[in-house]
Amino acid sequence: MSDHHFPTGIPVGISQCLMGESVRYDGSHKHSKYCTQTLSSWFEFVPVCPEMGIGMGSPREAIHLRGSLEHDEIRAVGNRTASLDVTDKLVAYGISKGKELTQLCGYILMGRSPSCGMERIKVYHENGNPLGKTSAGLYAREFMRQQPLLPVEEEGRMQDARLRENFVARVFAYKRWRDLLDSGLSLATLQEFHARHKYLLLSHHQPAYRYLGRVVAHAHQRPLGDVQEEYGRIFMETLKKVATNNNHANVLQHLMGYVKHELDSNSKQELVRLIESYRQGQVPLIAPFTLLRHHLKRHPNAYIEKQVYMEPHPPELMLRNFI
């Protein structure tokens, strides 16, 4: 029902082993068919293996993160060779790549990796026992510090349908934001951008949507660069919050308001029941959404047709079929 255009070739970073390349410590790979056979229709992957990048080769000695309770410093050291310490190289490589790959609109990392893991990587005592705290992989940590707005996810976590949908939606949202900045941000284009993303933002976090509305409303009172920084940061932080059934159901009810006066009693009750069934987790989002779209096709509304919420990502990916 919409004229949403989905660009292809969106640059997305990826751990090189997920592309099927044999770069892991044991000479193996972790090929992700979902990445190479499905997401590759829209994403142009930029593969990086930091351990290969710093010259460790493959196969190589495995590394782990080591720390202590007395100090915050975490180091990447060899599992067998105590003198093998690649901390400084991984940190420098993460900073360098973070500054180099500024075209990226997302990044898919290999989980449980002391270099590439996004979070919850175990840290060990010098004696080999778990320290009881976790960290991001050292390369990933530094890269994310360089590009704090970038959508980042681990391939393993993307087995979860909600996290998968959330990540892909964020990549396309970040692409739209980057395109807006590249075309030249103005108060008018920011207002239009915010209006188009109203229901997408509401599905993630209603207070954040209202806050961003105030940022836009008072934008003329501040330097545009400051507005851009604040809006972009909160926009991407808001979308990182995984949308709940309750929030989606509330948005669907709002959208229903645009056609409810056109519907007969039976059609209205059917849609209300289906939205409530989704809220309670009995049917996937695609069920009430498809029925709502059917009614909106029969009773078009120009404002709703422009809403990114109606198609936040290519429908061919079927991401709303499982949430």
Among 188, 186, 101, smallest CA distance to 152 is for: 101
Give the strands of the sheet with 152-154, arranged side by side. Answer: 43-48, 10-15, 107-109, 152-154
- Rounded mean pLDDT, 196-205: 98
With 50 as the cut, is the pLDDT of residue 2 above it?
Answer: no
| 1 domain-assigned | no
| 2 domain-assigned | no
Among 57, 77, 58, 59, smallest CA distance to 67 is for: 77
| 5 domain-assigned | no
Residues 112 and 14 in one domain: yes
| 290 domain-assigned | yes
Q: How many domains are there within the chain?
A: 2
- The per-residue pLDDT for 241 is 98
Residues 61 and 147 in one domain: yes
Backbone φ and ψ for 156, nearest 5 degrees, come out as -65, -40
Question: Long-range contacts made by residues 173-178, C-beta under 8 angstroms, separation at least 24?
Answer: 173/197, 173/200, 173/235, 173/236, 173/239, 173/308, 173/312, 174/105, 174/106, 174/149, 174/150, 174/236, 175/7, 175/10, 175/105, 176/308, 177/232, 177/235, 177/236, 178/105
- Cα 58 to its chain centre, rounded Å, is 30
Cis peptide before 59 (omega within 30 of 0): yes
Summary mean pLDDT of the chain: 96
Percentage, residues of the chain above pLDDT 90: 96
- The per-residue pLDDT for 1 is 40
Please give the helix or strand (H or E) that residue 63 lies within, else none.
strand 63-66
- The per-residue pLDDT for 74 is 96
Residues 74 and 189 in one domain: no
Structure-token pair, residue 254? 């709002």
With 60 as the cut, is the pLDDT of residue 3 above it?
Answer: no
Residues 233 and 131 in one domain: no
Q: Are 139 and 50 in contact (CB under 8 A)?
A: yes
With 60 as the cut, is the pLDDT of residue 20 above it?
Answer: yes
CA–CA separation, 201 vs 186, rounded Å?
21
User: What type of residue sits at position 200?
Assistant: L
| 296 domain-assigned | yes
Percentage, residues of the chain above pLDDT 70: 99
- The per-residue pLDDT for 4 is 65
| 29 domain-assigned | yes
- The per-residue pLDDT for 71 is 84
Among 127, 159, 136, smallest CA distance to 30 is for: 159
Render pLDDT for 72-105 as a digit per residue (tens, 0 to 9): 899 999 999 989 999 999 999 999 999 999 999 9
Other CB atoms within a 10 A radius of the CB of residue 90 amount to 27
Residues 170 and 314 in one domain: yes
Write out the DSSP string of 141-160: HHHHHH-TTS-EEETTGGGS
Domain boundary residue among 139, 159, 179?
159
pTM of the model: 0.96
Does 183 or 1 have the greater pLDDT score? 183
Residues 79 and 155 in one domain: yes
Residues 201 and 315 in one domain: yes
- Rounded mean pLDDT, 271-294: 98
Domain boundary residue among 159, 183, 207?
159
* Angle, in degrees to the nearest 10, between helices 138-146 and 87-100: 30
Write out the DSSP string of 179-237: HHHHH---HHHHHHHHHHTHHHHHHH-HHHHHHHHHHHHTGGGS-HHHHHHHHHHHHHH
| 3 domain-assigned | no
With 50 as the cut, is the pLDDT of residue 21 above it?
Answer: yes
Look up the domain containing 143 and give its range: 10-159
- Rounded mean pLDDT, 259-273: 96
Residues 196 and 98 in one domain: no
Buried b (16+ CB within 10 A) or exposed e, 226-252: ebbeebbebbbebbbeebebebbbbbb
Domain boundary residue among 110, 131, 159?
159
Render pLDDT for 100-156 as a digit per residue (tens, 0 to 9): 999 999 999 999 999 999 999 999 999 889 999 999 999 999 999 999 999 999 999
| 106 domain-assigned | yes
Residues 248 and 296 in one domain: yes
Residues 80 and 199 in one domain: no
- The per-residue pLDDT for 82 is 83
- Rounded mean pLDDT, 163-190: 98
Among 323, 322, 252, smallest CA distance to 294 is for: 252
- The per-residue pLDDT for 138 is 98
